[in-house]
Every structure is written in C-alpha cells, then in structure tokens.
Amino acid sequence: QVRLVESGGGSVETGGSLRLSCEVSGNIYRSYCMGWFRQVDGAEREGVAVIGSDGTASYADSVKRRFTISQDSAKSTLYLQMNSLKPEDTAMYYCAAGGGLPCPAPPFLVGMDHWGKGTPVTISS
C-alpha cells in the first residue's frame, strides 16, 4: 500500500513562489513514475509534471521553465518548486504514483494508481 501526503500549498501573489512536498510511504514500486497534477472545480485533472525512478522528468507546456519536479535522495519525498506563479496556476494540487517506466505522455494520467488528497494553491493577481 502506497500512501502519499501533500503539503506546502498556500496563497501567494502573482510572480511569487511555492514549494510543494509529497511524503511517500509504503511499498513503492522498484520502477515507478511519480507526478504532480492539478484540478480546478468543474475542470478535468491536469498533469503538471512527472519524474521516473530513472530521474527523467517531463512537464506540461504551461509550466515549463517555471516549475521543477524533484525527489530527495532517499526518494521518500517528491517536490514541486513553482516559480513565477500566475493566477491560472490556482488549483488543488495532487501527488500521484504509478508503477513502471517510462512515465506516460501528457497528460501523464495513465498508470497513476495512487493519489494523495491534495493541497490548495491560490495565486492572487
């Protein structure tokens, strides 16, 4: 059983930064893909960024050069560094994990079997 717990969300002004964290516990796969997703009420869940157990990362076009996904060396925590935030980045952000490589193509949803409960991000203009 894999457990994912997000933290780090909050409210910042346009242009600000936030760092989201996702604590990972349980029997993670030997080869895996983990990622960050976001969802606004009434809209579909959107893939933001994913990273594989091999270190390969991919990003949605809307966040390239602004967001960075990473893991700690023990691979027990997943991070999302978000810079140059925009009002359209406002959403509930979720951490997810799935087995196997390579990570799926955008929107990165295929194979994501485990999900956290989310952390809210609000960007004011």
Residues 78-116: tens digit of each pLDDT: 999 999 999 999 999 999 999 888 999 989 998 999 999
CA distances from residue 110 to 17, 47, 102, 105, 107 in whole angstroms, order as listed: 29, 10, 11, 8, 8
Neighbour tally for 109: CB within 10 Å:
17
Tell me the residue type at 88. Answer: E
Residues 58-81: tens digit of each pLDDT: 999 999 999 999 998 787 899 999
CA distances from residue 22 to 10, 14, 108, 117 in whole angstroms, order as listed: 15, 23, 17, 10
Residues 12-39: tens digit of each pLDDT: 999 999 999 999 999 877 889 999 999 9
Q: Which of 94, 85, 96, 95 is nearest to 122 (CA)?
A: 85
